[in-house]
């Protein structure tokens, strides 16, 4: 959020490909109405963003398949 609370901005972009590869059961599909296509979505919950003093050490905590998974922003591990 902007320092004057006037709006939001993107601080982190998280690619969850590694999480999906490690936990493929989080991918769910549902059929699009009136088509033969299926839309995928990921079943997970974001628990917290932990901001460290050094920005490159900050991480994201996710609940994935009833497990807590940490995701480091710097290297995607």
Average pLDDT, the chain: 81
What is the value of pTM for the model shown?
0.62
Cα separation of 26 and 19, whole Å?
9
- 6-39: pLDDT as tens digits: 888 787 777 778 888 888 888 888 777 776 777 7
- Tell me the pLDDT band of 1, cut-offs 50, 70 and 90: low
Polymer length of the chain: 77
Beta strands in the chain, from DSSP E residues, in sequence order:
27-31, 38-42, 44-50, 59-64, 67-72
């Amino acid at each position: 959020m902007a320092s004057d609370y006037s709006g939001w901005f993107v601080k982190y972009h998280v690619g969850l490909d590694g999480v999906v590869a490690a936990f493929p059961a989080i991918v769910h599909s549902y059929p699009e109405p009136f088509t033969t296509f299926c839309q995928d979505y990921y079943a997970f919950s974001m628990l917290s963003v932990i901001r460290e003093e050094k920005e490159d050490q900050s991480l994201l905590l996710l609940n994935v398949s009833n497990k807590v998974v940490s995701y480091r922003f710097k290297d995607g591990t």
